[in-house]
Amino acid sequence: MVGRIQWHVLPTLNKNQYGFMPQRGTEDALYHLLEHIKNEVRNKKIVLVISLDIEGAFDNAWWPALKLQLTKKKCPKNLYDMVGSYLQDRKITANYARATSEKGITEGCIQGSIGGPTFWNVILDSLLHQLTYEGVYCQAFADDVVLVFSGHSTSAVEQQANDTLKRVTKWGTKNKLKFAAHKTNAMLITKKLKFDYPNLHMSGSRVNLVEAIRVLGLTIDRGLTFKPHVAAACKKAADIYKQLACAAKVTWGLNGEIVRTIYVAVVEPIVMYASSAWSSATELQMIKDQLNTLQKGFA
């Protein structure tokens, strides 16, 4: 069923959705995001990055919104009816203190289900298409949504961002999804020496302005130096190696081949994660020294 729905629906999904899509992953999303940000900074623009947080996204996916989108995407009637049957008469049961309580449910992508990821992409797609149509650079990986605004003045960027956040909140209300303003972070990137910080609001709450923002496991700092990310990755790799080394000593002993296996299979992937996006940072001597120090230990 899901395979057939994907055959009809995948070609219609917004190209800025990277989650659960064939031949696409987190590193593709990060590479394209950073390339866009760097191009805007090179053009001497003020860039504002906003990372949105949807509260319990998969648990709160509303089935009528899914059915509406399938209708708009001209999903064949037999598949549409099959989805309706699949969602019909679902119940949640809780056992507590020798009592059983049962309740019908009308929302949520079933945990661990094959259809959940595709259903979620279909629901979120209308928001991505709306934002793209309005000229906003947006990106999503499943329920992680990032917005990028740019302009030559802070006031223009602030106005565009606040207007977009209102529309995003309105879309959430319409589709029974709540965006958590207190978990939404924004970061300003600019090479200008004189600039004002924007005042951003969402659902009546002020959006936090941060010095570094974490997107899909990559820490992006305001200066695009990636120093915090490399430092954290090196520390994580070293800590994991210590734990694995202790375990390996007991059973196999820690000869050169075992160390090499651990390095290639565990340490290198941790350090190299999303390197296509932050590779420019290796021009800095400080970053080189950090990476070399970690590598020399294994060498």
State residue 54's pLDDT score.
93
Do 175 and 138 touch, CB atoms closer than 8 A? no
Q: In this model, does residue 268 exceed pLDDT 90?
A: yes
Taking the C-alpha atoms of residue 45 and residue 64, their distance in angstroms, rounded to an integer, is: 41
Q: How many CB atoms lie within 10 A of CB 194?
A: 5
First to last CA, the chain: 51
Taking the C-alpha atoms of residue 144 and residue 30, their distance in angstroms, rounded to an integer, is: 12
State residue 123's pLDDT score.
96
SS3 48: strand
Q: In this model, does residue 247 exceed pLDDT 90?
A: no
Q: In this model, does residue 105 exceed pLDDT 80?
A: yes
Contacts of 1 (CB under 8 A, 6+ apart): 79, 82, 83, 86, 115
State residue 252's pLDDT score.
65
Q: Per-residue pLDDT tens for 44-88?
A: 999 999 999 999 999 999 999 999 999 999 999 999 999 999 999
Q: In this model, does residue 18 exceed pLDDT 90?
A: yes
State residue 174's pLDDT score.
96
* Residue at token pair 């992409």: 121
Taking the C-alpha atoms of residue 58 and residue 67, their distance in angstroms, rounded to an integer, is: 16
Q: Which of 162, 140, 130 is nearest to 48 (CA)?
A: 162
State residue 19's pLDDT score.
94
How far, in whole angstroms, is CA 80 from its chain's centroid? 29
Q: Per-residue pLDDT tens for 206-218?
A: 999 999 999 999 9
State residue 250's pLDDT score.
73
Mapping DSSP onto H, E and C, the string for 92-126 reads EEEEECCEEEEEECCECCCCCCCCHHHHHHHHHHH
Q: In this model, does residue 168 exceed pLDDT 70?
A: yes
Taking the C-alpha atoms of residue 229 and residue 94, their distance in angstroms, rounded to an integer, is: 42
State residue 242's pLDDT score.
85
Q: In this model, does residue 17 exceed pLDDT 70?
A: yes
Task: Give mean pLDDT, residues 98-110.
Answer: 90
Handedness of CA 178, 88, 18, 225 (dihedral sign): positive
Q: Which of 62-76, 108-122, 230-244 has the highest mean pLDDT?
A: 62-76
Q: How many CB atoms lie within 10 A of CB 253?
A: 8
State residue 9's pLDDT score.
94
DSSP output for 120-181: HHHHHHHHHHHHHHTT-EEEEETTEEEEEEEESSHHHHHHHHHHHHHHHHHHHHHTT--B-G
Taking the C-alpha atoms of residue 72 and residue 205, their distance in angstroms, rounded to an integer, is: 33
State residue 157's pLDDT score.
96
DSSP output for 262-287: HIIIIIHHHHHTTHHHHGGGGGSHHH
State residue 235's pLDDT score.
94
Taking the C-alpha atoms of residue 40 and residue 80, their distance in angstroms, rounded to an integer, is: 42
The CA-based angle 77-78-79, given to 5 degrees, is 90
How far, in whole angstroms, is CA 92 from its chain's centroid? 29
Taking the C-alpha atoms of residue 135 and residue 150, their distance in angstroms, rounded to an integer, is: 11
